[in-house]
Structure 1
C-alpha cells in the first residue's frame, strides 16, 4: 500500500497536476492539505473518475483537507478534538478495514503556520500541537496502524532546511515549535522519511520567491508520522521532488511511504 501526503495549495488551481500525479504515482491513499474550497466546490468528479473515494473537510478561501482513497473508509471524523470553538478546517481522520481485518487509521493534518510569531497565531499553533499530541496518545493506545500525514509547518532539525539562520526566528523553526514536535514523536511515532535516510538537502517545500526551487533552497515540513504498528509495516519512504518542476506547481511536493500489508508468515 502506498500512502501519500501533499499540500496541493488550491485544488482547483492544481487539478490538472493532481490528476496527472494520481495517474503516474498511483497512491492508494492521499492526504491533501490547503484544498481552499468548501466541500461542495471540491472537484470530486475528476478524482472519482480515476477510481478514488473522496472525503473532504473544506473551508472557503483557505485551509481545508481531503482524503482520497481507492477503498471507502468505514469511519470518518472531521475536526481535531479539544477545542469546540476552533472553526478552522485542518484535520480529517479516516478509518479503513483491511482485508485481513487489520485496522488502518489515516489522519490528514494541516498544522497552523504560526506566523507572525508576535500575534495570536503562534499560541494557536502551539495549542493545536498540544491537542494533536493528546489525540495521538489516545489513538496509539488502540495499538493499530496509524498514519498522521500532512503539512506540519515544522522544520524538525537544522538539516531539514537549507539555512538555519534564515529560519531561526520563524514559527516553523522556533525552539518551542520543535520541542512540541519532539513531544509528539516521543509518544512512539516514527518519522517515515527520517527512518529511511539521513540525507541532507532533502526538502518538501520551496518558496515561489527568490529562485528557491532552482537553488534547492527548501525546507522539510511535510511529514508522515507512524505508530509502531505502521512503522513495522513500512518498507520505504520518499519525497517525489520532480512534481515541483511541473507547470503551475504547488510550492509543496508529495511525500510517500510504502507498507507491506501481507499477513505475517507466522499467521495461520
Structure 2
C-alpha cells in the first residue's frame, strides 16, 4: 500500500500535474494540501476518470485539503474535533484498513506573530485528537505539510534557519509531541538521500530550486503496526522542476500490507 502527500499550492493550477503523476505512480491514497478551491469547484469527475474517489473540504483562495483514494474510504472526518477553526486543514478516513489523516499545518508566519500562537494551539489540539485516533486504529498514517523541519539536517543551511519560523524549538517540540504518541517518521527509517532528494519544499523566491535551497517539511508518520512493514519513503523531486510547479513535491511511503 502506497500512501502519499502533496501540497499542490492550488489544485486548479496543478490538476494536470496531479493527473499525470497519478498515471505514472498510481498510489493507493494521496493527501493533498492547499487545494485552494471551494467544494463546488473540486474536480471530482476528472479525478474519477483517473480512477480516484475524492474526499475534500475547501475554501476560496486559501488552505483546503483532500484525500484521493482508489478504493472507497470510510468514516471520514473533515475538521479537527474540538478546535474552532474556519481554516480547512484536516481530513481523515479509513482506506483498506488503514486510518489516513491528511493535514495542512499552520505556517505561523513569525515567532512574535499571533499566527505563531495559533500554530502551537493547533498542534496541541491535533495531538489530543490524534491520541484518540491511535487508540482506535493500530494502523494509522499522519501525513501532510507540517510546516516544520524536524532537524538541522532537514534544512539547506542550518546556521541560517536554526531558531527561525519552521525550525524553532517550540515548533519542533510540538512535532515531537506527535511522535511521542507512538508515531515514527518513515523518512528516517532508511538511509537518507543527498542533494535535492533531501528536501520536499523549495521557495519560489530567490532561485530556491536552482540553488537547492530546500527544507524537509512534508512528512509521513506511522504507527508501529505500519512502520514494521514500511519498505520505502522518498520525495519525487522531479515535480519541482516542471513548468509552473508547486513549491512542494510528493512524498510517498510504501507499506507491505
TM-score, length-normalised on structure 1? 0.92
Matched ranges for 1:134-213 at <5 A: 134-199=128-193, 201=195, 202-213=198-209
The two structures, once aligned, show a CA RMSD in angstroms of 1.2
Measure, in 1, the Cα distance between the counterparts of 2:223 and 2:171.
Answer: 21
Q: Report the equivalent of 1:21.
A: 21
Measure, in 2, the Cα distance between the counterparts of 1:152 and 1:197.
Answer: 22
Residues 29 and 67 in structure 2, CA contact (< 8 A), matched pair in contact too: yes
Measure, in 1, the Cα distance between the counterparts of 2:101 and 2:134.
Answer: 13
Matched ranges for 1:257-268 at <5 A: 257-261=253-257
Measure, in 2, the Cα distance between the counterparts of 1:167 and 1:124.
Answer: 21
Larger Rg, first or second structure (1 or 2): 1
> CA 1:141–1:244 in structure 2 vs 1: closer, same or farther (change >3 Å)?
same
Measure, in 1, the Cα distance between the counterparts of 2:193 and 2:50.
Answer: 34
Spell out structure 1 runs of 4+ moving beyond 3 A: 198-201
Residues 159 and 200 in structure 1, CA contact (< 8 A), matched pair in contact too: no
> Which secondary structure state, in structure 2, belongs to the residue aligned with residue 12 of structure 1?
helix
Q: Report the equivalent of 2:238.
A: 242
Matched ranges for 1:65-104 at <5 A: 65-83=65-83, 85-96=84-95, 98=96, 103-104=97-98
> Which secondary structure state, in structure 1, belongs to the residue aligned with residue 56 of structure 2?
strand
Structure with the bigger percentage of helix: 2
Measure, in 2, the Cα distance between the counterparts of 1:207 and 1:229.
Answer: 35
Residues 143 and 229 in structure 1, CA contact (< 8 A), matched pair in contact too: no
> Which secondary structure state, in structure 2, belongs to the residue aligned with residue 76 of structure 1?
strand
Query: Which segments of 5 or more consecutive residues in structure 2 lack a partner in the other structure?
Result: none
Task: Give the stretch that moved more between structures: 169-178 or 217-226.
Answer: 169-178
1:110 correspondence with 2:109:
no
Measure, in 2, the Cα distance between the counterparts of 1:12 and 1:51.
Answer: 19
> Which secondary structure state, in structure 2, belongs to the residue aligned with residue 6 of structure 1?
strand
Q: Report the equivalent of 2:120.
A: 126
Measure, in 2, the Cα distance between the counterparts of 1:185 and 1:204.
Answer: 20
> Which secondary structure state, in structure 2, belongs to the residue aligned with residue 31 of structure 1?
strand
Q: Report the equivalent of 2:222.
A: 226
Measure, in 2, the Cα distance between the counterparts of 1:198 and 1:45.
Answer: 38
Residues 56 and 67 in structure 2, CA contact (< 8 A), matched pair in contact too: yes
Shift of 1:132: 1.2
Measure, in 2, the Cα distance between the counterparts of 1:186 and 1:232.
Answer: 17
1:253 correspondence with 2:249:
yes
Deviations 1:230-252 (A, max 9, x none): 21221111111111111110000
> Which secondary structure state, in structure 1, belongs to the residue aligned with residue 220 of structure 2?
strand
Q: Report the equivalent of 1:264.
A: none
